[in-house]
Structure 1
Amino acid sequence: MPPARPVAQPLDRPIRLAVLISGGGTTLANLAEQIQAGSLSAEIPIVIASRSDCGGIAKAAAAKIPCAVIRRKDYASLAEFSQEVFSRCRDARVDLVICGGYLSLLQIPPDYQHRVLNIHPSLIPAFCGQGYHGEKVHAAALERGVKVSGCTVHFVDDEYDHGPIVVQRTAPVLDDDTPATLAARVFAEECLAYPEAIRLFAAGRLEIENHRVRVLPEERVANGE
């Protein structure tokens, strides 16, 4: 078994984020609000949209964040598409890539291994993988009759919803829930979980052993252990 290894060293400055979007940009808006409120020490130098009609493009413009549209169908291969996405991230000197409702599969290059996070609106490994996104996830949870749902922040690898789990938060499932009401309750937890995961990464408090993420105590990191 590979030894535990730190994911990143602590940063002494605001962490630089690229936010990848495919829809309305609710995750982008949440992060921008938390940065403005001072509860998240971060900068967003670039947003990357997978479609030109993403509602989140307007949110990026309103926040005065440059936004690039990079469509998978414009590239002959997944490798070429992924290369363009990460080239833009390097140009923007991005520390961490944030997938916010991003639906395009990526090939993660070596220099961005364990530097790409995704959030999924269920407790992985439940109701995840290709085809499970948006209200489809919540409809499946209700159909199965689960009593608790929630969200998962995880590192991205070359499979959908598969990489090591960083943070999970739970939300109750009520008897009269619809996919929309459950989605709203889970999203409230997402608004807390994503900034928490980003703060842990920026503080150098994450290490990976095999496929498991461990959160290190603050004092251990402060002592350089």
Structure 2
Amino acid sequence: MKNLLLFASGNGTNAENIIRYFHLKKTARVVAVFTNNPKAGVIKRATALQVPVEVVSREDFRNPDILIGKIEKWHPDLLVLAGFLWKIPSELILRYPQRIINIHPALLPRFGGKGMYGSHVHEAVLAAGERKSGITIHYVNEKYDDGQIIFQAETEIAPEETPETLAQKIHQLEYNHFPQVVEYVLEGNLSKN
């Protein structure tokens, strides 16, 4: 059985979805959730599903020896960012090459980069007059939202779309695809496409 370590900063719906998916599959398991936010909703969600949670301080996150030590005790096969807002340190990327993946709520390479998360992304997509948006699952490298794309899924943007309604469509794509793409990556496939 393979080990997944999740990183999340917010409500944790994607993390919960991944935990539940692999609980049923029995091919991998989420061994822990790391969060940088001691008030994050993901803490309650993971705890309810009996997955250990570790709150990582900014100081520990910036210290490669401490951070890698905290991660290594879980023996992860893959690190999955599920709404994690801090930039991953280069030492961690070097330690886990092609073993850290992220989900972004837009069709990269557009609408990515520092500060482009959550409603900021949806507002930018609508302001640009796009006809489609979607999700991108990608490997993490040293730049925000710049790693090799693993998978993308699209949704149409309606003329009356708002950031809130677009967010609902994007969340549905995340729930439908993220766990399966994690599984494909664990199995050694580069892409679900």
TM-score (norm 1): 0.79
2:27 pairs with 1:41? yes
Per the alignment, residue 179 of structure 2 pairs with 195
Distance 2:168 2:160 in 1: 14
2:42 pairs with 1:60? no
2:47 pairs with 1:91? no
- 1:195 to partner: Cα distance: 1.8
Between the two structures, name the one with larger relative contact order (CA 8 Å, sep ≥ 6).
Answer: 1
What are structure 1's unaligned runs of at least 5 residues? Answer: 1-13, 207-214, 218-225
- Runs ≥4 in structure 1, deviation > 6 angstroms? none
- 1:32 to partner: Cα distance: 1.8
1:124 partner SS: coil
- 1:216 to partner: Cα distance: 9.1
Per the alignment, residue 133 of structure 2 pairs with 149
1:103 partner SS: coil
Distance 2:98 2:30 in 1: 18
2:17 pairs with 1:16? no
1:169 partner SS: strand
1:30 partner SS: helix
2:16 pairs with 1:32? no
2:145 pairs with 1:158? no
1:198 partner SS: helix
2:79 partner SS: strand
For 2:121, the aligned partner's letter is: V
Distance 2:19 2:192 in 1: 27
TM-score (norm 2): 0.92
1:168–1:193 Cα contact (<8 Å) kept: no
Distance 1:155 1:198 in 2: 11
2:122 partner SS: helix
2:4–2:76 Cα contact (<8 Å) kept: yes
2:31 partner SS: strand
What are structure 2's unaligned runs of at least 5 residues? Answer: none
Per the alignment, residue 107 of structure 2 pairs with 123
Distance 1:83 1:119 in 2: 26
Per the alignment, residue 70 of structure 1 pairs with 56
The structure with the largest alpha-carbon Rg is: 1
For 1:87, the aligned partner's letter is: G
Distance 1:46 1:83 in 2: 19
2:5–2:34 Cα contact (<8 Å) kept: yes
